[in-house]
Amino acid sequence: MLEIVDLTVAYGPVVALERVSLSVAEGSITAVLGANGAGKTTLVRTISGLVRPRSGSIRLKGAEISRLAPEAIARRGISHVPEGRGVLAELTVEENLRLGGLCRSDPADRRVGVAEAYELFRPLAERRHLPAFTLSGGERQMLSIARALAAGPRVLLLDEPSLGLASLVLTQIMARIKQLVHERQLTVLLIEQNARSALSVADDAVVLSLGRVVAHDQARRLASEEGLRHAYLGF
């Protein structure tokens, strides 16, 4: 579904990703693990077009997307839930969700997308007409994810969804995302610092260290490799 080949990204002289290659199968969850500064966030920001790669290619179902603008990439079905400050604080919950649906061409799909978001995330329905800055940190993270799903994405990029979320809520959200993965063949790239919880939901996992891929395997197998766990994942 998503194919990344020899991707190199640099901020001026600082190389953030070096010849990163990985592939994400349709209808699966791939965890991207690694310490702070390993390049995880740079990777998703490059996929969604916010950062221009120096070289390499990113293909969505075979089509090259690495030179497209972020808005064009979003319209092709890649939804990026940015780390932390993703909600538009001045807009209401409802407006945030509507905005998520706007990149769908069929107005009926847009309405369904918003309705589904409320169904998945009940607490948001009670606050639909409140501005998003009145929400708690956890609710904002929920809104950010719900908004991404309202777009009806083919690929979901989740950057540290566990930030600010109670672990019970996170478990519920991940269970729902897993459901979408099975029912709709949603493809998920999950960035996490907390390797243990990410490996428990992911099918595959990639470990980044200082901008390079040091492991790419089934999540189950990575979790059982003690040397790797100690060296890169800290558990």
Partner 1 sequence: MQRFVVLTLNGLTEGSIYAAMALALVLIWRATRVVNFAQGAMAMFTTYLALFSLEHGAPYWLAFIVALLSGLLLGAVVERVLVRPVESAPPLNVVILTLGVLLMLEALAPMLFGGQIRSFPAAFSIVGFRVGSLQVPFSASDLFTLVSVLVAMALLLLLFQRTDLGLRMRAAAFNPEVARLLGVRVGRMLTLGWALASLVGALAGLLIAPSLLLYPTYMDQVLVFGFTGAILGGLDSPPGAVVGGLVMGFALSYVGGYFGSDLETVGAVVILVAVLMVRPRGLLAWRAQRVV
Residues that bind partner 1 in the complex, under the rule CB under 8 A: 48-50, 69-71, 74-75, 79-80, 82, 85-91, 95, 98-100, 102-103, 133, 147, 151
Closest distance to partner 1 from the beta carbon of 81 (Å)? 9
Q: For residue 15, what are the contacts with CB-CB under 8 A and spacing of at least 6?
A: 8, 9, 211
Which of helix, strand or coil describes residue 214?
strand
Nearer to partner 1, 69 or 231 (CB): 69
Q: Which contiguous run of DSSP H or E holds residue 47?
A: helix 40-47
CB of 112 to partner 1, least distance (A): 16
Minimum distance from CB of 195 to partner 1 (Å)?
26
Looking at the Cβ atoms of 34 and 152, the one nearer to partner 1 is 152
The residue among 138 and 209 lying less far from partner 1, judged by its C-beta, is 138
Question: Nearer Cβ to partner 1, position 39 or 147?
Answer: 147
In the complex, the smallest distance separating the C-beta of residue 115 from partner 1, rounded to whole angstroms, is 17
DSSP 112-180: HHHHHHHHH-HHHHHTTTSBGGGS-HHHHHHHHHHHHHHT--SEEEEE-TTTT--HHHHHHHHHHHHHH
CB-CB contact of 148 with 156 (8 Å): yes
